[in-house]
Structure 1
Amino acid sequence: MIEFRGAGPAEFTERLETVIGIYTAAMNPPGDQITGRKAIMRNHATYPHFQCYFAELREPSLTPGDREEPRTVGFAYGFRGAPGQWWHDVVLRALTEQSGRETAQAWLGHAFELAEIHVHPDYQGKGIGRAMIRTLCAGRGERSAVLSTHDRPTAARHLYASLGFTDLLSRFVFPGGYEEYAIAGRPLPLP
């Protein structure tokens, strides 16, 4: 059985090796990017209103009364976007240039930024990512949720669209990068 357990900044940071293991299995990044990704994630835990959920698999015990340690099979986290945060500032600037200040502020002025959502490949396609997003967004006070994802037809892109996320920017390349991303958003709360 999969359970979702909330974690704040301290536990998230303590479990960073587990988080990086799932991220690496799901994304298969170049090895030289892992140290930088870990530093970025550690920094994210310092952002305002940070919240994380772990998807944990609890196996039924063969011995009555005995509980095995759960296996973490996924994680998702986000925080309130704010000026001074790299992603927030870069996306706000690009969206302002494309759609105007009023539209950019409507989406990013009081937004919950879904920073990372990953499920170990052995457990993908079972609704875990969808459930983590719903759990993470439940009860949030922000007016919108925003995220970035590769701008190609992936399972993640399909998932976000099925949850009502629409493209705010497409074919977007972050400074210093080369891959194209879609920046997507949807009003909160989720249905």
Structure 2
Amino acid sequence: MRDPKLREIDERAFLRRLGPMLEVYAATMAPPAEQLPGRHTIMERHAAYPGFRAFVAERRGPLPGLAGPVQGFAYGFHGSRGQWWHDIVHQALAAREGPEHADAWMDDPFEVAELHVHPAAQGKGLGRGLLTALCEGRPERTVVLSTLDLRSATPAQRLYRSVGMVDLLTGFEFPGGGPLYAVMGGTLPLAPYPSASSSP
């Protein structure tokens, strides 16, 4: 079986792969089926955000130039005021730690919107590869993201901590309900792993 290959894709290629990427998202997050059309719309909108960047992990296709199944994907963009996630997190950080703390993390962030690896392809370093490639060379000062906050540290949380990211918010519920999240942040460039804690 051919190993997956990381590939950077532009906005058009990202939009063409939305179906397969949503299949990976559904396999990893197990959302209610009725939420997937809304997620599709959100990802379409994100592709037009400033500083958008995306990578996929795909198995090599049967012929040169033909991509195989998507095994994982990650994308992000420059965060700024007026974006839903950015504004919610900035407000929560300001309420808990003060406006200066919120500004330190959220004034110039690269926001990792999604990073998922299909369960069948996990444990092979694809998540680390996607995160490293996505953040490499970014001009922003910080990187921020949200990930499920379970009772014990998830593989995703261990990955993010290994490159210097720290918890900014824990047990956080976004408006509209749903599971609890940890909001994590680190400085760019990412720290070599393993890493001690970082601060902005």
Q: Once the 2 structures are TM-superposed, how far is the Cα of residue 52 of structure 1 from its aligned partner?
A: 0.3
In the alignment, which residue of structure 2 is the partner of 1:14? 16
Q: Once the 2 structures are TM-superposed, how far is the Cα of residue 178 of structure 1 from its aligned partner?
A: 3.7
Whether 1:125 and 2:123 are equivalent positions in the alignment is: yes
CA distance in 2, matches of 1:69, 1:43: 24
The residue type paired with residue 46 of structure 1 is A
CA distance in 1, matches of 2:167, 2:139: 22
The residue type paired with residue 116 of structure 2 is H
| CA RMSD between the two structures | 1.4
Alignment of 1:99-178 (within 5 A): 99-152=97-150, 153-178=153-178
The residue type paired with residue 33 of structure 1 is Q
Q: Deviations over 1:94-134 (max 9, x none)?
A: 00111111111110100000000011111001110011000
The residue type paired with residue 48 of structure 2 is T
Describe the SS at the equivalent of 1:47: coil
TM value normalised by structure 1? 0.92
CA distance in 2, matches of 1:113, 1:178: 21
Q: Once the 2 structures are TM-superposed, how far is the Cα of residue 53 of structure 1 from its aligned partner?
A: 0.2
In the alignment, which residue of structure 2 is the partner of 1:182? 182
CA distance in 2, matches of 1:109, 1:144: 9
CA distance in 2, matches of 1:71, 1:34: 19
Give unmatched runs, 5+ long, in structure 1: none
Q: Compare 143-152 and 50-59 and name the one that shifted more.
A: 50-59
Q: Compare 128-137 and 27-36 and name the one that shifted more.
A: 27-36
In the alignment, which residue of structure 2 is the partner of 1:4? 6
- Percent identity (aligned): 47
Counting matched residue pairs gives 186
CA distance in 1, matches of 2:71, 2:172: 30
Describe the SS at the equivalent of 1:141: coil
The residue type paired with residue 74 of structure 1 is G
Contact in 1 for aligned 2:20/2:69 (Cα 8 Å): no
TM value normalised by structure 2? 0.88
**Which of 59, 82, 98 is the equivalent residue of 2:80?**
82
In the alignment, which residue of structure 1 is the partner of 2:57? 55
Q: Once the 2 structures are TM-superposed, how far is the Cα of residue 69 of structure 1 from its aligned partner?
A: 3.8
Describe the SS at the equivalent of 1:169: strand
CA distance in 1, matches of 2:190, 2:68: 28
CA distance in 2, matches of 1:45, 1:9: 6
The residue type paired with residue 90 of structure 1 is I
Describe the SS at the equivalent of 1:139: coil
CA distance in 2, matches of 1:170, 1:69: 38
Give unmatched runs, 5+ long, in structure 2: 192-200
Q: Once the 2 structures are TM-superposed, how far is the Cα of residue 160 of structure 1 from its aligned partner?
A: 1.3
